[in-house]
Amino acid sequence: MHKGSMCRDSIAEWILRQVTSRQRACAIVGDLLEGEHQKGRLWFWLSVGRIAISLFWRRPVAFISALYVGSWTLFAFDMATHGIHTRHRPPDYPWGTIFEFIGYFTSGLCAIALYAAIRYGIWQRSTQMVLIWAGLGAAVIYLWWQPVVLSLCLIASLFLVILSLSRDKFRREALVVLVAAIATSGIRSLAGFLIVLYQHSLLPGPWGDQEMREHPSLNWVAICAMLLWLWGATKIWSSLQNWLERSKTLESRPGML
């Protein structure tokens, strides 16, 4: 292969790697090279540009959608269990803290699920898993006071855990969901800590409407913390998806394992 062709292929792969994984970019370029012999170099570069544009829109749309859903569900889940108008409030101790954790955990899963569905597709097994876990978490938050619903959610959760541990084809996807959920919760805790830290630096003690009006910068800090939370969550999910694709690619190659 000529040096110029190798440089061209590397440039094409680099362009596509900005909008998709390394393995997928390499596969796309390989397919385009096969068609270049008949359709020409202009067709090759036009195809690279078209594919890059078609893949690029998914990332910002997925992130904005995840940001909205993560913010909305975080508020909605808190109102469902601790709002002044809620009809079924869990006991303050210890269930209040437990349901607060479940709300944070599930809101992160909802954000990841929407991001994964838009960017990577609904048919990926890892996307389906995180959607199911997010649905189970939401059902527990809104219908925890109904014994039948709570029992079904617990049975379904136990079934998913057993299935993930017993089947090799589900094990890696389950690991991806678990690591992403734990990391997302950790980043959410860090973001909340930064908000509280900044709040206490402005005015230690309880806050009310007057304090919020006097210190509007706290709202901007909260927005930045939310962006940090969702950016970290989506970045972790993308990295885990790339690892998942690499591991599957290595397994599909004879002699690699």
Digit-coded pLDDT (tens) for 241-254:
888 877 776 665 55
Domain count, the chain: 2
Residues 45 and 73 in one domain: no
Give the end of a domain, one of 41, 56, 71. Answer: 56
* pLDDT exceeds cutoff 50 at 17: yes
Predicted confidence at residue 154, as pLDDT, reads: 93
Residues 62 and 86 in one domain: yes
Residues 21 and 66 in one domain: no
Average pLDDT value for residue range 95-119: 88
The rounded distance, in Å, linking the Cα atoms of 14 and 11 is 5
| Residue 257 maps to a domain | no
Q: Which amino acid is at 53?
A: I
Residues 12 and 112 in one domain: no
Predicted confidence at residue 54, as pLDDT, reads: 79
| Residue 234 maps to a domain | yes
Residues 51 and 87 in one domain: no
Residues 154 and 190 in one domain: yes
Residues 215 and 106 in one domain: yes
CB contact burial 97-136 (16+ within 10 A = b; e otherwise): eebeebbbbbbbbbbbbbbbbbbbeeebebbbbbbbbbbb
Residues 62 and 49 in one domain: no
Residues 225 and 149 in one domain: yes
| Residue 231 maps to a domain | yes
Host domain of residue 24: 3-56
Predicted confidence at residue 257, as pLDDT, reads: 44
pLDDT band at 6 (very low <50, low <70, confident <90, very high): low
Residues 106 and 153 in one domain: yes
Give the end of a domain, one of 35, 56, 77. Answer: 56
Predicted confidence at residue 107, as pLDDT, reads: 92
Flag the least confident range among 7-11, 24-28, 143-147. Answer: 7-11
The rounded distance, in Å, linking the Cα atoms of 78 and 81 is 6
Check whether the bond before 254 is cis (ω within 30° of 0): no
> What residues contact residue 203 under an 8 Å CB cut-off, 6+ apart?
211, 215
> What residues contact residue 129 under an 8 Å CB cut-off, 6+ apart?
160, 164, 170, 173, 174, 177
Check the CA dihedral 102-108-110-113 and report its sign: negative
Give the end of a domain, one of 56, 76, 100. Answer: 56
The rounded distance, in Å, linking the Cα atoms of 184 and 234 is 9
Among 49-63, 75-89, 140-154, 205-219, name the most confident range. Answer: 140-154
| Residue 84 maps to a domain | yes
* pLDDT exceeds cutoff 60 at 69: yes
* pLDDT exceeds cutoff 80 at 37: no
| Residue 122 maps to a domain | yes
Residues 126 and 218 in one domain: yes
Length of the chain: 257
The rounded distance, in Å, linking the Cα atoms of 116 and 59 is 10
| Residue 91 maps to a domain | yes
The rounded distance, in Å, linking the Cα atoms of 136 and 150 is 9
Residues 76 and 31 in one domain: no
Maximal C-alpha separation, the chain: 73
| Residue 115 maps to a domain | yes
